[in-house]
């Protein structure tokens, strides 16, 4: 977070292009408004939030090139500033729904273990597709910032585990928001789950993904809109506090166990890119 | 980031939220003003708190807890804060978040195209199974505790 700006004037001088563009993108996105697209059993609800992401990415150094790498880097901390008022608002909504939050407390806390499904389902798949140690990093969690920090810490910055984590992190950043909005509507369309359960599941540990999922859900279940926001926000907050510990003490050891068990059986013959350092991961 | 810079940036974000609320949700600027002021002030207090408290929790968690405490029934200004914030559509702050997030990840595109299709499949399954796993557990626990 330390950009080393001398003063606010210095910051504005370096970042004014971001401010003006973000503001213009915001106006454009709002003028387009919400669009609903029926998509199989689910519904793709396009919100101004998504247009913002897409236009922002298009302007970036790898595509149109309107923004340079330094500007892209400077925009990262600004995302945190922008999402803060949203999270405050969710907290305020939660205050009115306090009795509900308390009554579903156990479900909120235990939903954290849903992360273990990720290891159980995605890890075997990754091994089947031929990934080696990358698979452990990629599938131990949904791989947001805290997980990136954790894996760097445990396996080191040049580890295959971190490559896996980084890959899912980038995917989540580029597509996670849109994917989550769609996923939420798709799962809702099965009618198997109560809106409360769906909302709790939306709190997966990335504010912007939670926002996309709860936005879609609130749109589908207008009568539950406030509940959905409160539960999604509370789930996200709890994951923020417990997620790191769940990853260290449960998900990562579990992922390593499954890796040892399954890799010799379903892993592709192809030699691991990792050579033989596979044994020192528990250090 | 220094507090002065946070304050400045919250000012910028506030203008964004008011604009979104005006264009997207037809809320007059005068109605949004107090709500945005409250949201951004609480967020700013959260930043201050996160700098003072030595626990290494993300600032976002303080935002959530402070919002909840200040609007809760025990707070003397709870009703006022809830009413004012009620004028801000919950989606209104998100458009600016999206625009900035898009700019921030713009340099990941090349990195992304280098990934093999396998990791793309894995990433989608990771996201889907995390969500669905949590939903299933929540549904089961809700059924039991109901």
Say whether B78 sits in a helix, a strand or coil. Answer: helix
| Closest CA relative to residue A212, chosen from A229, A195, A237 | A229
Residues of B in contact with A15 (CB under 8 A): none
Q: How far is A70 from chain B (nearest CA, A)?
A: 10
CB contact at 8 A, A41 and A189: yes
Check if the beta carbon of residue A184 is closer than 8 Å to that of residue A22: no
Confidence of residue A270 (pLDDT cuts 50, 70, 90): low
Q: Is the pLDDT of residue A220 over 80?
A: yes
How far away is chain B from the Cα of A219, in angstroms, using its nearest Cα?
Answer: 11
The rounded distance, in Å, linking the Cα atoms of B104 and A30 is: 20
Residues of B (37-96) whose Cβ lies below 8 Å from A: 39-40, 42-43, 46-47, 57-61, 63-73, 78, 81-82, 85, 88, 90-91, 93-96
Is A7 within a domain?
no
A62 contacts B101? CB cut-off 8 A: no
- Best of A28, A35, A81 to disrupt the B interface (most B CBs within 10 Å) is A81
Residues of A in contact with B112 (CB under 8 A): 170-171, 174
A83 in any annotated domain: yes
- For chain A, how many structural domains are there in total? 1
CA atoms of B41 and A228, how far apart (whole Å) = 25
Taking the CA of residue B7 and the nearest CA in chain A, the distance in Å comes to 10
CB-nearest partner of B66 from A88, A139, A215: A88
Q: Which residue range(s) make up the domain with A251?
A: 79-266
Q: Does residue A62 sit within a domain? A: no
- pLDDT for A144 equals 82
For residue A259, what pLDDT band results from cuts at 50, 70 and 90? very high
Residue A184 lies in a domain: yes
pLDDT in tens, B106-136: 888 887 777 788 999 999 999 999 999 999 9
- Would you say residue A12 lies in a domain? no
Contact flag B110-A62 (C-beta cutoff 8 Å): yes
Of B9, B106, B129, the CB nearest to A72: B106
Partner residue opposite B100 with nearest CB, options A79, A120, A139:
A79
| Each residue's pLDDT tens digit, A164-193 | 998 898 888 888 888 989 999 999 999 999
Tell whether A151 is covered by a domain. yes
Residue B31: band (very low, low, confident or very high) from pLDDT cuts 50, 70, 90: very high
Q: For B118-145, b where at least 16 C-beta lie within 10 A, e where not — what string? A: bbeebbbbbbbbbbbbbbbbbbebbeee
Residue A279 maps to a domain: no
Tokens of B41: 């002030």
Q: Give the three-state DSSP class for B57.
A: coil
Q: How far is B97 from chain A (nearest CA, A)?
A: 5
Instruction: Please check whether residue A154 lies inside any domain of the structure.
Output: yes
Q: What is the pLDDT of residues A97-123, one digit of tens each?
A: 888 888 999 999 899 888 888 999 999
Q: Which residues of B touch A29 (CB under 8 A)?
A: 95, 98-99
Are the Cβ atoms of B131 and A113 closer than 8 angstroms? no
In this prediction, residue B48 has a pLDDT band, given cuts at 50, 70 and 90, of very high
Question: DSSP assignment, residue B58?
Answer: -
Distance from CA of B70 to the nearest CA of A (A): 7
> How would DSSP label each residue in chain A?
-----SSHHHHHHHHHHHHHHHHHHHHHHHHH--EEEEETTEEEEE-HHHHHHHHHHHHSTTTT-SS-HHHHHHHHHHHHHHHHHHHHHHHHHHHHTHHHHHHTHHHHHHGGGGHHHHHHHHHHHHHHTT--THHHHHHSS---HHHHHHHHHHH-TT-HHHHHHHHHHHHIIIIIHHHHHHHHHHHHTT--S-HHHHHHHH-SS-HHHHHHHHHHHHHH-GGGHHHHHHHHHHHHHHHHHHHHHHIIIIIHHHHHHHHHHHHHHHS-SS--TTTTGGGGGG-
User: Quick one: pLDDT band at residue A278, thresholds 50, 70, 90?
Assistant: very low
Chain B residues with CB-CB distance to A53 below 8 A: 98-99, 101-102, 105
């Amino acid at each position: 977070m330390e950009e080393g700006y001398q003063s606010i004037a210095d910051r504005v001088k370096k970042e004014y292009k971001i401010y003006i563009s973000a503001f213009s993108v915001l106006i454009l996105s709002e003028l387009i408004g919400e669009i609903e697209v029926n998509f199989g059993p689910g519904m793709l609800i396009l919100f101004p939030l998504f247009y913002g992401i897409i236009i922002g990415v298009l302007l970036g150094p790898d595509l149109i090139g309107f923004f340079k790498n330094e500007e892209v880097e400077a925009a990262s901390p600004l995302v945190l500033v922008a999402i803060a008022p949203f999270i405050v608002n969710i907290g305020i909504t939660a205050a009115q729904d306090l009795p509900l939050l308390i009554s579903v407390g156990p479900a909120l806390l235990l939903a954290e273990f849903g992360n273990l499904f990720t290891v159980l389902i995605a890890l075997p798949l990754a091994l089947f597709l031929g990934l080696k140690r990358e698979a452990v990093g990629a599938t131990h969690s949904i791989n947001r910032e805290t997980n990136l920090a954790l894996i760097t810490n445990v396996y080191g910055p040049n580890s295959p585990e971190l490559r896996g984590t980084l890959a899912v992190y980038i995917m989540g950043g580029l597509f996670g928001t849109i994917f989550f909005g769609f996923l939420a509507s798709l799962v809702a369309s099965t009618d198997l789950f109560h809106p409360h359960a769906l909302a709790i599941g939306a709190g997966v540990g990335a504010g912007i993904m939670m926002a996309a999922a709860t936005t879609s859900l609130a749109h589908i279940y207008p009568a539950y809109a406030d509940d959905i926001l409160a539960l999604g926000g509370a789930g996200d907050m709890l994951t923020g506090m417990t997620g790191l510990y769940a990853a260290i003490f449960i998900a990562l050891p579990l992922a390593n166990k499954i890796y040892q068990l399954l890799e010799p059986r379903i892993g592709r013959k192809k030699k691991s890119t990792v050579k033989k350092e596979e044994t020192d991961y528990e250090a | 980031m220094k507090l002065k810079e946070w304050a400045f940036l919250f000012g910028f974000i506030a203008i964004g939220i008011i604009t979104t609320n005006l264009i997207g949700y037809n809320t007059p600027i005068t109605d949004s003003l107090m709500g945005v002021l409250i949201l951004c002030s609480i967020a700013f207090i959260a930043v201050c708190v996160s700098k003072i408290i030595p626990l290494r929790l993300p600032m976002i968690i303080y935002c959530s807890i402070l919002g909840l405490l200040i609007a809760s029934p025990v707070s003397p200004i709870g009703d006022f804060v809830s009413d004012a914030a009620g004028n801000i559509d919950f989606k209104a702050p998100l458009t600016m978040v999206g625009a900035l997030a898009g700019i921030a990840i713009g340099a990941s595109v090349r990195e992304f195209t280098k990934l093999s299709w396998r990791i793309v499949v894995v990433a989608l399954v990771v996201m889907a199974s995390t969500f669905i796993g949590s939903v299933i557990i929540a549904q089961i626990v809700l059924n039991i505790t109901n």
